[in-house]
Each structure stands twice: as structure tokens, then as C-alpha cells.
Chains A and B, each alone.
Chain A
Amino acid sequence: MKKYFLLSIVLALSFVVAQTLSAAGPPQTGGQLPEFKFPMPSDRADKGYLGLSGWGSTFRIPDIRARVVIVEILSMYCPFCQKEAPLVNDLYGAIEKDPKLKGKIKILGIGVGNSAYEVNVFRKKYNVPFPVVPDPDYAAHTLYGEVRTPYFIAVKINENGTHEIIYSKLGSFGDIPAFLETLKKPAGL
């Protein structure tokens, strides 16, 4: 009987810790993204775009070869993400067309609660040109404060491998040139 009581206390403590972690809130500007290993994209073009090399099966956001990584937290099942998809594609296009930004700013989508299949459905439906990694069991989403979708985080990657969040906001980023301007200065571009 005493054993069950002790077990319940341990469970309760684990619960409090888990609740505290998930209640940590969204990533804050000036802070760092919680460490998370995403599955390595199987598509060579995606891997090439992100500048990921080697044979590893996972990667972290600071491993991406870029000065700034714009992370979009989305879901195939989210109506606002569906509505926002063409605008995010336009953002990708604006970056790729600008020789000063191409290769320096990359976009990565995270499909929260989505399987690899569902992420691919979303990409095909909206012709999404940038990689979207699945987060089927909400593991990354929980670490990122269970934010609503779409949520955008821009992460500055430093040469020494450290990183810093320079933008963190729920909902549309709005006007593309204005959004890119907000990233350029803190990123030193």
C-alpha cells in the first residue's frame, strides 16, 4: 500500500514538472530555442537547401547553414496555416530573389501533430518550396510552449554555433519587405 502511495507522489511530482515545462510559454526574443533533434529530411533538395551534411538521422536548428532561420510552426489541419501558405511561399520567393539574402535566410516548417504523410500533403497542396518536418507526437511543440498556429520564430545563427531568437510572434508576419527589414538589423545583414 505504502508503495502505491510513494508511486503516486512520484507521479504527481513528474506531472508538476511536465506542466511547468509545457507552461513555459512561447520562445522569447533574446532567448534560445529549446534543444530539439528533428528527423533529417530524406529529400536531397531539402537537405541541400538547409545545408545539412553528413549521414546523421537528425539535425538541430543551429545546424542549418544560414545566418537566420525562420521557423514556421504549422499544421496541415490549421485553417489559418492553409490561408497563410501562399504568403509564406512569397516570403521564400522574396528571399531567394534577393542576392543579399539568398542562402543567408532559410525557412523551415514544423508540422505539429502531423505525420510525414500529412506534412507532404500540405506541401503538395500549397506547393511549399521549403522543407517542413513532421512533429507527430507534439514533442517539439511542447518544448516550444504549445504555441498556436501559425507561429513564426526567427533564429539568428552565430558563427560559433550559438543562436539567438530575434523574432517570435503568433500569426501572420504581414508585409514581406517590412518583415525582412525587422530581421536584417539584429541579424547583421
Chain B
Amino acid sequence: MPKKATLLIVALMLTLSVPAWAQTHSEAYKDNIYVTGVLKPIDSVLKVKVGDAAPDFMLPSITGQKITLSQYRGKKIVVLSFVPAAWTPVCSDQWPGYNIVKDFFDQNDATLLGITVDNIPTLYAWTNQMGKLWFPVLSDFYPHGRVAEAYGVLRSDGTSERALFVIDKKGIIRYIDVHDINKRPSLEVLIRELEKLK
């Protein structure tokens, strides 16, 4: 009985507790963020590793263009930023930060592709709250999460991990960070990885 009670109390605490780092605080979203609570940090198994050729893909963007990874081959280093879902905590605070560091990407001859498994209308409405984003926002909605699955970052609930992949100009994966879904990756680590490829 005490063991059961212990488990129950701990489970209740984990469900109810939403620490500050797992929330979105910008007034830009007002009360429109769905509170997910603390989630399992990682819920997938990577299918690629550093040194592998990055799986190519073609995905629609919110501007109506189709974007392929291979179109950047020989031209730009590509950072893929998978975020779990629109209108959720942390995700809503990640891309607006990248949006003010375009110069860092430019200095390192890199570009950014933001990807979620949401559909285009949802992504359009959500990213409109972030201001005008300089990088393409891609929908991996249909077939659902196919690109996330190819990289091994599709979670069991159909969302994706919060993951960063840095892909060099030859199309080779040079850095992978499948981050704790509840936390935002630090900007300095990503910038440092880009600088290594310069």
C-alpha cells in the first residue's frame, strides 16, 4: 500500500508540475499555448548518425514553395530544426530566437529549415505570431511525419522530437542534438557547431 501511494503521489506531482523552463512566456501567444506538462524527454530512436548522408526530402513550406534538402547541396550548410508541435510550450519560444540571428547563419554560410508535423494552415497561423521569419517553415504533415521518421525523431504520439541536425555542403550530417523535448537547446552550442564547419 505505501509503495502504491508513493507511486501515486509522485505521478500526481509530475502531472501537475510544469516548471518555468517547460513553459512559453511570451505575451505574443497570450492564452493560446496548449500546456503539455512535462513530457518524456526523448521518445524515439535515431536512424542516422554523424557522418551519414542526410536523407533527402521534399516538403511544402508555408509560403507555398516545395523545399528539398538537396537544393542546398554545394551551396549552404543546412540546419534542420525539428520542433514537436505548433502552439505548444518551448517550441513557440525557439524559432523566434533563431529569427534574430540570421547574421550568425549568414556568417557561417548556413541556412535553417524549420520542420514540424503540423499542417500548413496551423503552421501559418502559429508562425504569424512570431513575426516575419527569414527561414522556410516546412510541414511534415502528410504522409504524417515521414521525414521525422526517416531521421528517427518521430515520437510514439506522432509529434517529433526537439532535434537539430547540422548538414554540411556535401550533404553529410555533422552534428545531431536530439534534445530533451521539455527544454530549449542553447543557441551558443549550435553557433559553435556551425563555426566548426566554417
State whether the Cβ of B131 lies closer than 8 Å to any Cβ in chain A: yes
The binding surface of chain A is classed by DSSP as: helix
Given contacts A77-B184, A78-B93, A121-B187, contact A19 B25 (CB under 8 A): no
Contacting pair B96 A77 (CB below 8 A)? yes
The docked-state distance in angstroms from the alpha carbon of A150 to that of B130 is 14
**Which residues of the other chain, A, contact B188 by a CB distance below 8 angstroms?**
115, 117-118
Contacting pair A5 B6 (CB below 8 A)? yes
**Which of these binds chain B: A50-58, A86-94, A136-144?**
A136-144
Taking the nearest CB of chain A, how far is it from the CB of B96, in angstroms?
5
State whether the Cβ of A28 lies closer than 8 Å to any Cβ in chain B: no
Closest to B19 in A: A138
State whether the Cβ of B186 lies closer than 8 Å to any Cβ in chain A: yes
The docked-state distance in angstroms from the alpha carbon of A7 to that of B3 is 11
The docked-state distance in angstroms from the alpha carbon of A128 to that of B6 is 50
* Chain A interface residues (CB < 8 Å from chain B): 1-2, 4-5, 7-9, 11-12, 15, 18-19, 22, 75-83, 112-113, 115, 117-118, 121-122, 125, 137-138, 141-142, 146-150, 170-171
* Chain B interface residues (CB < 8 Å from chain A): 2-3, 5-6, 9-10, 12-13, 16-17, 19-21, 23, 25-28, 93-94, 96-97, 99-101, 129-131, 184, 186-188
Known pairs A18-B17, A75-B93, A76-B187. 8 more at Cβ < 8 A?
Answer: A4-B2, A79-B96, A79-B130, A83-B131, A113-B20, A113-B93, A117-B186, A150-B27
